[in-house]
Copies of this chain bind each other. A is one copy, B any other.
Amino acid sequence: MNLKEYLAEKKELIDRELQSYLPPAEGLYGKVAEAMSYSLMAGGKRLRPILCLAGAEAAGISTDNLLPVACSLEMIHTYSLIHDDLPDMDDDDYRRGRPTCHKVYGNAVAILAGDALLTEAFFLLTHEAYTQQLDPLRLRRVINIISEAAGIRGMIGGQVADVDAEGKEVDLPVVNYIHTHKTGAMITASVTAGALAGGADVYTVTCLRRYGRRIGLAFQIADDILDLVGSAKELGKNTGMDVARQKATYPAVVGMKAARDAGHNLVKEALGFLESFGDRAEPLRAVATYIMDRTS
């Protein structure tokens, strides 16, 4: 399969959907709506919503009713980037190739825009016009999985451990905790959410979850490596920042070669969990392989 075409096609679909959900940038809340749109429509890879759709496809489920679920994942991801970039957090000036939200709109509006995107995800997931075709019991479970992955037991837990580890000597278990929570939890939730919402059986969802856990960790290991050897231009953000901030990274803890090996092994394991899926899982396979080969 042609992964590049697949990703481009899905990204276009998701971008169009995301745009249609956004509140208009007018009236007394206009400034926050504008900031939400600025960050959400900044042209990310849309990896999480694509994984959501690809996971459902792998399970043989139509993605027609799953776009709101997919898009809610991108809203949550974008909120986390806006808050991560704040001066009180990572203090980043560039993201996705342009000034970060708070550089353009100020810290107060950036905090509110992040809060609003997080809240909007749950508004979207429960809006009659968008999710009434989904089984409400499955939808409840999907919202629970997403909020678990986004919250203190997932992404936020990883984020606080990450902030905490800065400048400290940390070991592999701590880096693993940070990576599997900060990045891995939402990626795993993304791979399973669509299939689960659409009616996949327990075995299928379990395989997808195991696949998701491996690629989630591999993705963050690849990110660590790119921060060391990648091109700032291709990445759309400054490189070398992890070293400058003494961040807990895989290469820092196990060395570059072992980090690459770990990433490739995780991808191999991930592929193993897709063995029973047949051709329908080709996109998920291609994504897994791409993770360690990407340059941005």
For the complex, what is the distance from the CA of A36 to the CA of B152, rounded to whole Å? Answer: 10
Interface size, A (range): 35 or more
> How many angstroms from the CA of A57 to the CA of B174 in the assembled complex?
48
- Residue from B114, B148, B163, B181 in contact with A123 in the complex, judged by beta carbons closer than 8 Å: B148
Do the beta carbons of A127 and B144 come within 8 Å of each other?
yes
Whether A289 is near chain B, meaning CB under 8 Å from some CB there, is no
Copies in the complex: 2
A116 CB–B CB distance under 8 Å: yes
A23, A106, A116, most chain B CB atoms within 10 A: A116
User: In the complex the two chains form, is B153's CB within 8 Å of A23's CB?
Assistant: yes
Identity of the chain B residue whose Cβ is nearest the Cβ of A127 in the assembled complex? B144
Please determine whether B126 and A111 come into contact, CB atoms closer than 8 angstroms: no
Instruction: List residues of chain B with CB within 8 A of the CB of A144.
Output: 123, 126-128
Chain B residue nearest to A106 in the complex (CB): B88
A112 at the interface (CB under 8 A from B): yes
Q: Would A115 and B118 count as touching, CB distance under 8 A? A: yes
Question: When chains A and B are docked, how far (Å) is the Cα of A128 from the Cα of B159?
Answer: 26
| Stretch of A92-100, A131-139, A234-242, A274-282 contacting B (4+ beta carbons < 8 Å) | A131-139
Is A243 on the interface with B (CB-CB < 8 A)?
no
A58 is an interface residue with CB less than 8 A from chain B = no
In the assembled complex, A109 has its CB within 8 A of some CB on chain B: yes
Contact A156 B112 (CB under 8 A): yes
Mask of A60-95 contacts with B, CB within 8 angstroms, 1/0:
000000000000000000010001001011000000
Complex: how many Å from CA A157 to CA B26? 11
Q: Say how far A285's CB is from chain B's closest CB, in angstroms.
A: 31
- Inter-chain CA distance A167–B60, complex, in Å, is 57
17 pairs of residues in contact across A and B, judged by CB atoms under 8 Å: A28-B178, A29-B153, A29-B157, A31-B164, A83-B111, A88-B107, A114-B115, A115-B115, A118-B118, A120-B147, A120-B151, A125-B143, A126-B140, A127-B144, A128-B144, A136-B140, A143-B143
| Top 3 A-B residue pairs of the complex, sorted by shortest distance between their CB atoms | A29-B157, A119-B151, A136-B136
